[in-house]
Amino acid sequence: MNEELNTSVPNGPRIWAIGGGKGGVGKSVIATNLAATLSRAGNRVVLVDADLGGANLHTLLGVPNPKTSLSDFISKKVPNLSDVMTPTQVDNLWLVSGARALVDMANPNFSQKGKILRHINTLDADHVVLDLGAGSAFNVLDFFLVARKGILVVVPEPTSVENAYHFLKAAFFRKLKRAEPRTQVRAAIEEVMKGSQRKNVRTPRDLISRVWAVDPEAGAALAAEASEFRPALIVNRVDNPRHQQLGEDMVTACREYFGVRMQLLGGLPNDQVVVRSVIEQRPATEFFPQIPFVTALHGVVDKLTYARERSA
């Protein structure tokens, strides 16, 4: 398919996508608190629950039974995405809920994804935070890749780390498939993978290098596409310095394996007060603004803002 999803428009909102290789890593809690932190700084923020198969942001925000949701927009019951924006208890923060999604709405097709992104780009907001479903399905990867910054959440557990690497690999190859001219690039890759050079292709970085040797134009196209793959990482539930080091180790591994730079946004401490805020159905940034988790999250927001200013 040669179509492309829209990524951004001039003066449109900045889109941040929160993903994870597996469920249960605190992705939705982080997305909610990130959005609340941005809104407390005076920004107009829209939090989109893009996990249509397991939407729960309305619960985390204490928004009872939203009257409309993202599925109403997808099914054309309402004409505009702004029609399903629901006010929350947090000033300047609106929710686009994914609640009450029908089974066939959990995986929007290409045209539906394009429609969602077009409307997101026209929202009257400074920031849009997308809370994605867990795993590496194409729909999750596509939203992760079209954001200004795709943020991967990992916890210091072997299964989470393993799934995070699987997610990054899937997202990276999904990104490479966009390299133009696609027919020429595909032919060069097939030539490398069927020839004697295949045994020397151990990493995606090796693949790009071998393709470049076979077809410099195709190799340059792959390299250009790869250079735009700049995910960010948050290590959640950090208890000790070893957990904190995990982020540095993953950034190094990503650079060596993919040949790209992943931004480490920081580690968020394992804080039981955050659990209490979930029970109270209010973001920790609102309920307990002085706890270490919130302080660390402010550092994450500062890094995102600094990166935006440098790229502006």
**Structural domains present in the chain:** 14-154+271-311 (3.40.50.300)
AA letter at 262: M
Least confident segment among 4-8, 65-69, 148-152, 158-162: 4-8
Q: Are 172 and 229 in contact (CB under 8 A)?
A: yes
pLDDT of residue 10: 62
Q: Give the C-alpha separation, 276 to 284, whole Å.
A: 8
Q: Is beta strand 127-131 parallel, antiparallel or unpaired with respect to 45-49? A: parallel
| Mean per-residue pLDDT, 29-54 | 93
For the chain, give the percent of residues with pLDDT over 70. 92
Note the pLDDT of residue 105: 58
Both structure tokens of 92: 């300047």
Return the structure tokens found at 253.
Answer: 């591994």
**pLDDT tens, residue by residue, 86-140:** 999 999 999 999 876 554 556 778 888 889 999 999 999 999 999 998 889 898 9
Whole-number Å distance between alpha carbons of 174 and 5: 13
Is pLDDT above 60 for 308?
A: no
From 90, 83, 81, 85, select the one nearest 61 (Cα to Cα). 90
Residue 293 has pLDDT above 80, yes or no: yes
Q: Encode the chain in three state secondary structure.
A: CCCCCCCCCCCCCEEEEEEECCCCCCHHHHHHHHHHHHHHCCCCEEEEECCCCCCCHHHHCCCCCCCCCHHHHHCCCCCCHHHHEEECCCCCEEEECCCCCCHHHCCCCHHHHHHHHHHHCCCCCCEEEEECCCCCCHHHHHHHHHCCEEEEEECCCHHHHHHHHHHHHHHHHHHHCCCCCHHHHHHHHHHHHHCHHHHHCCCHHHHHHHHHHHCHHHHHHHHHHHHCCCCEEEEEEECCHHHHHHHHHHHHHHHHHHCCCCEEEEEEECCHHHHHHHHHCCCHHHHCCCCHHHHHHHHHHHHHHHHHHHHC
pLDDT score for 21: 85
By mean pLDDT, which of 22-36, 95-109, 257-271 is the weakest? 95-109
- Report the percent of the chain where pLDDT is more than 90: 74
Q: Which of 27-36, 267-276, 298-307 has the lowest mean pLDDT?
A: 298-307
Please tell me which residue, 98 or 312, carries the higher pLDDT value.
98
Place of tokens 């959005």: 35
Q: With a cut of 60, say whether residue 1 has pLDDT above it.
A: no
Length of the chain equals 312
Assess whether pLDDT exceeds 50 at residue 2. Answer: no
Share the mean pLDDT of the chain: 90
Task: Considering only residues 67 and 267, tell me which one the structure prediction assigns the higher pLDDT.
Answer: 267
The CA distance from 291 to 276, in Å, is 12
Residue 36 clears pLDDT 90, i.e. is over it: yes
Q: What pLDDT score does 224 carry?
A: 95
pLDDT(172) > 60 = yes
pLDDT for res 98 = 83
pLDDT digits (tens, 9 = 90+) for 177-205: 999 999 999 999 999 988 777 778 889 99
Is the Cβ–Cβ distance between 154 and 21 less than 8 Å?
yes
Q: What is the pLDDT of residue 312?
A: 39
